[in-house]
Amino acid sequence: MNLNNTKRRDFLAGGLGLATIAALTACAGSESSGSSGGAEKMPIKVGYIADYNGAALLALANEEGYWDQAGLKPDFVPFTNGPLAIQALGTNNVDVAYIGSGALWLPASGKAEIWALNTVSNADRVIAQPGISSMEDLKGKKVGVPEGTSGDQLLNLVLKKEGLKREDFDIVTMDPSTAVSAFASGQIDGAALWYPLIDNIKERVPDVVELAANKDYLDDLTFPSSFVAAAGRAEKDKELAQKFISVVKASNDFRQENTEKSLSASAKFLKVGEETLKPQVDVAITFTSAELEEKTKDGTIGKWLKGLEEQFLADDKIDKIADPKTFYTGDLYVETKKA
């Protein structure tokens, strides 16, 4: 399916995503933290992506008891990408969800709000089959792209820098797992993906060529991941928002000082070996909660979000640039104490 001539902001309108969300959330209870006892806790459904960056803070909250301390009882719902998670917010299937930077066009367009920043990513790549050494070599060939993700975002940056257009390639819209399979089997020539998915590809195509990475563009753009909720949710349910932010802050600061424990907790949460997750630890830049508070107050995070909005506008994902304060609840983040 080629969406070159379709507004990408309309991508979420289809019914396929709704069916997928229903299937995922139907079994959300089986992913609970298992906490019990004490006063009755406030339930919260939390969406995540099954990698280290998407799961570490949730896993640490399980291990260190931060959910209990905040009076929350979480259920966890896995998603394959941020746009699908945000669609679940809109249908009340989850309360809050982790997303990568590529999906931040949705909060910027009023479909969600950011409760907390997580990390700055260097996980995304534009990759090609062995023998293809440049974007010029990739022209006219099939490129698998999960629409509206951070991989898609990086691809657009590469095209702009190289003076190319999406029409120069045979862009094939795929979900992430399909793109991995298609690349590994040689059905596509390139892809816009991220680690750890690329680790899976390297098991079958060890000589995969990396044409571009986030770090190539950090002087121009920052790629933050975040936790988001439905637009206006914090105002309607401030207690829930503060409880969740307090958990995120506590886990975030623990992660900053305890990498090995963070790795083991994440591996246990995701039910994978630590060796699988270890390469992912170094593909993100982390900050203490105090640093994120300061970057909120001094406008740094606002500049990050504004820069992303400018790219989203150029890529026709949003109609206008909004004040980041309208979709990042920074004041609430700053005032909330960690659990």
Pull the structure tokens for residue 196.
């750890």
Q: Are 47 and 196 within one domain? A: no
CA–CA gap between residue 179 and residue 145 (Å, rounded):
7
The phi and psi torsions of 120 (rounded to 5 degrees) equal -105, 125
Side-chain-facing half-sphere of 161: CA atoms under 13 Å: 16
Name the more confident of 113 and 153.
113
Whether pLDDT at 134 is above 60 = yes
Residues 233 and 319 placed together within one structural domain of the fold: yes
Look at residue 220 in the predicted model and tell me its pLDDT.
Answer: 80
Q: How confident is the model at residue 58 (pLDDT cuts 50, 70, 90)?
A: very high
232 and 196 within one domain: no
- Please give the tally of structural domains in the chain: 2
Q: Evaluate whether 151 touches 80 at the Cβ level (below 8 Å).
A: no
**For residue range 222-263, what is the model confidence (pLDDT) as tens digits?**
999 999 999 999 999 999 999 999 999 999 999 999 999 999
Residue 339 lies in a domain: no
The pLDDT value given to residue 131: 97
Give the domain extent around 47: 41-120+221-333
Distance CA 43, CA 271 (A): 23
pTM for this predicted structure: 0.78
Question: Per the domain annotation, does 13 fall within a domain?
Answer: no
For residue 16, the model assigns a pLDDT of: 40
Rounded (to 5) percent helix, strand, coil in the chain: 50, 20, 30
Tell me, yes or no, whether 172 and 94 share the same domain: no
Peptide bond between residue 224 and the one before it cis (omega within 30 degrees of 0): no
pLDDT digits (tens, 9 = 90+) for 257-313: 999 999 999 999 999 999 989 988 988 889 999 999 999 999 999 999 999 999 999
Q: Let me know whether 183 and 283 are in one domain.
A: no
Chain mean position to CA 238: 23
Whether 323 is covered by a domain: the verdict is: yes
Per the CB < 8 A criterion, the answer to whether 194 and 148 are in contact is no
What's the CATH code of the domain at 306? 3.40.190.10
Q: State which of 196, 214, 232 marks the end of a domain.
A: 214
Residues in contact with 195: Cβ distance below 8 Å, sequence separation at least 6, in sequence order: 51, 123, 125, 279, 280, 283
pLDDT digits (tens, 9 = 90+) for 317-337: 999 999 999 999 999 999 999
Residue among 333, 335, 284, 324 nearest 300 (CA) = 324
* 202 & 281 share domain: no
269 phi and psi angles, rounded to 5 deg: -60, -45
> Could you tell me whether strands 224-229 and 142-145 are parallel, antiparallel, or unpaired per DSSP bridges?
unpaired
Which phi and psi angles does 119 have, rounded to 5°? -140, 175
pLDDT at 36: 43
Model pLDDT for residues 65-123, shown as the tens digit of each residue: 999 999 999 999 999 999 999 999 988 899 999 999 999 999 999 999 999 999 998 88
In a domain, 241, yes or no: yes
